[in-house]
Amino acid sequence: MSAQLLQIKDLSVKVEDKEILHNVDLNLNKGETHVLMGPNGAGKSTLGYALMGNPRYEITDGHIFFNGKDITGNFIRTALEQRTGSRIRLWNFRKELKNAMDILQMDEEYADRDLNVGFSGGEKKKAEILQLLMLKPSLAILDETDSGLDVDAVRTVSRGVEEYQKNKNGALLIITHSTRILEALHVDATHILVDGKMVASGDSSLVDEINTNGFEKYIQQ
Ligand code: ADP
Ligand code: MG
């Protein structure tokens, strides 16, 4: 079986009659962490929304394959297999939940609150990462997970993502225009999106290069 989890081929996406993404390619294997960077307005979130099947984002060209299956016009949300598996014992679940909440420095009291009702920005992000740790999806797309968080919250969220990475079946597409959240994370590949086009791909050293020089060189291309 191929290790290829997500294959984006020649993808073009239109939003309200304007083509935002132009012939984008991206290949992500099982368990890998990829980073998608680019200046504001490059189309990063558009790619995330198109992958998740937001109806406002129309795929006009190209294909998306998930686990080798063509899911263009079907999308990851519906293509994800239902996790049935064996039943989880409540005691084990509670232990795992407590462990995950400890990592994220969440008070036990959160577990009794309605999801996101009255949560602060930072608490919502932590709740997202908690879902990641408990649901263990084979792919997660994190769009600007670190935006609006203070330094300590970024560190906490990053620790949670690091924990998710330990589950080798879990792949990540981290969309970000800053690099704060990446400092402690293992990165397999980096992609640079400018004006709806993939202009560069490389390893984690590309993150460091962007950190030092910004996107200027790629915008001028
Ligand atoms: P990024 O996430 O890289 O900052 P976006 O994907 O949010 O960029 O936006 C890319 C371009 O697409 C921008 O010019 C933005 O105005 C436009 N765009 C994105 N979503 C919509 C939408 N729902 N309606 C109209 N324009 C949109
Ligand atoms: Mg965005």
The mean pLDDT value for 58-75 works out to: 88
pLDDT bucket at 181, cuts 50 / 70 / 90: confident
pLDDT bucket at 1, cuts 50 / 70 / 90: very low
Residues whose Cβ atom is located within 5 A of ion ligand 2: 44-45
- Ligand 1, atom 22: nearest CA belongs to which residue? 15
Question: Cβ of 66: how many Cβ atoms within 10 Å?
Answer: 21
Locate all alpha helices (DSSP H) within 147-215, ordered by sequence.
Answer: 151-166, 205-213
pLDDT bucket at 122, cuts 50 / 70 / 90: confident
Phi, psi of 78 (to 5 degrees): -85, -20
Site to probe by mutation for ligand 1, drawn from 11, 35, 46, 194 as the one with most ligand atoms within 8 Å of Cβ, is 46
Mean per-residue pLDDT over the chain, rounded:
88
